[in-house]
Amino acid sequence: MADLDFEKIGLLVGLEIHQQLNSEKKLFCDCQAELFNEEPDFVFTRRLRPTQSELGQIDAAALFEFKKGIKILYEGTRPTSCLVEMDEEPPHDIDRESLEAALVVSLMLKANPVNEIHVMRKTVIDGSNTTGFQRTAVVALGGEVRMRRFTSPIQHISLEEDAARKISQKDSVLTYRLDRLCIPLVEVATAPLSCTPEEAEEVALRIGQILRASGTAKRGLGTIRQDLNVSIREGNLVEIKGVQKLELVSSVIETEVQRQLSLLEIREELTHRGVEEEDLQDKPQDITRLLADTKCNIIRAALQEKKRVFALKLSGFGGIFGRKLTQSTSFGREVADRVRFWGAVGGILHTDELLAYGITAEEAKALNVALNIEKDDAIVLVAEDLEKCCEALEAVRERAVEALTGVPEETRAALDDGSTRYMRPRPGAARMYPETDVPPIQISQSFLEELRLKIPEPPEKKMGRLLHAYGLNRKLAGQVLNSRFNELFEEIVKETKVSATVVAAFLTETFRALERDGVDVDGVSPQQIMELFKLISAGRMAKEAASDVLVWLTEHPEGQVEEAVETLKLGMLPEREIEVLVDRLIGENRRFLNQRKEDAFGRLMGLVMKQERGRVKADIVRKIVAKKMDQI
């Protein structure tokens, strides 16, 4: 899509960056703001139901989640959950530390803090909150993020509680853990940006840098996520939830643009065929008898379970279901995703794939006759119980009607490959209403002036300092700036004699390489990393052994750095032992050294470093080898 003119198609992108705050307490109680992996102390079940707003409206997204008929099982531990998370006790006053953190972020983004903060309830009925709503509060309006080529305006900044952690789903039972519920989040929402996908990703990166620079952000996988609002000219606003990795932002936007363009092409094709909503009023027909002896495995399995087969005629939709929307999905698959939710069925079969699933040409012909199918018509089949068949095919018909107008407004979930899938309808205005259990909070100018004194160094200024004060190149300085160890880097360089470049490369590139190899480095503490570099600085271990020590520490969570060095026998060799080693290697390789004198130095260096990797310093080995070669 590199040749696509995003300005011409009217691409607009809104970003919502959600960052967990590094608070010890939860937002509305005194429980620990940490995750747990041990067995729960208690469990309980709930069934959530939608309620009317103050205007008597029911939110469409809430109704959709309720119709799934899901029962929710909640797990909790006493250190991380209390009666507030269980919705058995009103919320406490808002956590002051988290409020200050959100306001500091607001000031860093040049936003205008509100005079009075009001906590609101946002309806959430997917089970991720025991109350059926999420508590959220706008703390500032306006603001901006300055980029090299443009400035991105900020709409608002909010402080809100995170949702419970989804653990599993088995049949109609969802299991959540309450440890993440009510952990403080700051949300930064941009105004709609007329930009390229790459520029949107750059804005997300810059906001993330500012959040990390604030010193208030939690670090680690799952502590930050990006939601996107994407639309193009003649399309519609589509909300994409849960982009976990920053590098996926641009690809998710590109894929959504391609999907919307393809849907607009389908709309044009249907318009050209003269299809109107009145043409899509056919009722589902029971065709179980026609396929009683079918060889299609899917239908045969359903019939053996005494289920029925229903078909729906869609006038003018011939060939449409097989149309590719993106590289990984078709219109038929998109409809199937919608049907799985609304009709609670496994999937659908449609005209463009019947023969591939074992429907014979004779059976297809009989279906065409029974449903009065013409050249450009399509058939959709569902095999299930009577009620589910009817609900599923009604969802198919509604999605077909939406295809006549192009792109439906909806909420989609981001997948790891950059594609998306249907999640639910977009929420409406009925979703938000006041929280009556938390009093408003006055924000005085004197309080804001105190917070202005706490504003840390902005990312662009720190980038310049990393370049000039520490002599890092631009690539390495950028990696340090975006690393969770950007503060630890400066502490290590200040307290040890290890080169800033060596420290920076270890904290970024070495850590990333170990993560790619499946090493869980998140458990290694900053104190252990500092101790590691102190041993290197004192000459008690070589920098080449640092990664070996790091791996050992991940395998021994309670272990110490010195214990790792001793266990792995990585203590530095004295110079006299290095000399003995070099003499021995010269004796063992004298014939080669005499034949290839020009390669002798490099050969000896390589042999020593290979045999005693992590126990010798290269500069000391180089000095000893050079002396021995002169003697030879």
pLDDT per residue over 211-243, tens digit each?
988 989 987 778 899 999 999 999 999 999 999
CB contact at 8 A, 118 and 439: no
How many other C-beta atoms lie within 10 A of the C-beta of residue 347? 17
Q: Which of 73-87, 151-165, 225-239, 518-532 has the lowest mean pLDDT?
A: 518-532
Q: Regarding predicted confidence, which is higher, 462 or 581?
A: 462
pLDDT at position 447 is: 95
pLDDT over 90 (residue 310): yes
Instruction: Give the closest residue to 94 by CA, choosing from 158, 175, 35, 3.
Output: 158
The span from the CA of 618 to the CA of 74, in Å, is 56
Q: Residue range 203-208: average pLDDT?
A: 94
pLDDT of residue 219: 78
**What does the alpha-carbon distance between residue 83 and residue 510 come to, in Å, rounded to a whole number?**
44
In this structure, the dihedral spanned by the alpha carbons of residues 316, 317, 319 and 323, taken in order and rounded to 10 degrees, is: 140
Straight-line distance from the first to the last Cα atom of the chain, in angstroms, rounded to the nearest whole number: 64
Q: Give the residue carrying structure tokens 């092409």.
A: 265
pLDDT in tens, 125-180: 788 999 989 999 999 999 999 988 889 999 999 999 999 999 998 877 899 999 99
pLDDT band per the 50, 70, 90 thresholds, residue 600: confident
The 8-class DSSP code of residue 266 comes to: H
144's tokens: 């901006």
Task: Kindly report the backbone phi and psi dihedral angles of residue 4, in degrees, each rounded to the nearest multiple of 5, phi listed first.
Answer: -80, 135
Question: Which residue has better confidence, 562 or 255?
Answer: 255
Place of tokens 């006053």: 93
The reported pLDDT for the residue numbered 59 is 61
Q: Are 226 and 15 in contact (CB under 8 A)?
A: yes
Q: Which two tokens stand for residue 524?
A: 């290694």
Could you tell me if 240 and 422 are in contact, meaning their C-beta atoms sit under 8 angstroms apart? Answer: no
CA distances from 107 to 98, 102, 152, 248 (A): 14, 9, 16, 28
* Tokens (6 digits) for 580: 């003995």
pLDDT tops 70 at residue 323: yes
pLDDT at 361 over 60: yes
Residues paired with 121 in a beta bridge: 135, 433
Contacts of 8 (CB under 8 A, 6+ apart): none
Name residues whose C-beta falls within 8 Å of residue 165's C-beta, 6 or more positions apart in sequence.
35, 176, 177, 179, 180, 181
Structure tokens, 31: 């429980």
- Whether residue 532 is predicted with pLDDT greater than 80 in this model: the reply is yes
Four-residue CA torsion sign, 178, 179, 184, 187: negative
Residues 6 or more apart in contact with residue 248 via CB below 8 angstroms: 414, 416, 418
What count of residues does the chain have?
Answer: 632
Identify the structural domains of the chain with CATH numbers, from first to last. 12-270+429-434 (no CATH), 276-403 (3.30.1360.30), 459-567 (no CATH), 575-631 (no CATH)
Residue 66: pLDDT band (50, 70, 90) is: low
pLDDT class of 540 with cuts at 50, 70, 90: confident
- pLDDT of 535 > 70? The answer is yes
Backbone angles phi, psi at 478, to 5 degrees: -65, -40
What is the C-alpha separation between 291 and 366, in angstroms, rounded? 9
Supply the pLDDT for residue 153: 96
pLDDT tens readout for residues 257-272: 999 999 999 999 999 9
Please enumerate in sequence order all residues whose Cβ is within 8 A of that of 111, keeping only pairs 6 or more positions apart, or say none: 140, 141, 142, 143, 154, 156, 157
Give the pLDDT score at 53.
57
What is the separation of C-alpha 577 from the centre of its chain, rounded to a whole number of angstroms? Answer: 52
Segment among 52-56, 158-162, 276-280, 536-540 with least mean pLDDT: 52-56
Tell me what the pLDDT averaged over the chain comes to: 89
Reduce the DSSP state of residue 469 to 3 states and report it: coil
Match 């020590």 to its residue by tokens. Answer: 549
- pLDDT score, position 597: 62
Q: What is the pLDDT of residues 550-577, one digit of tens each?
A: 999 998 888 898 888 878 776 665 667 6
Strand partners, 45: 73
Which tokens is 381 given?
């089949």
Quick check: helix, strand or coil at residue 276?
coil
Report the pLDDT value the prediction gives residue 61, as an integer from 0 to 100.
60
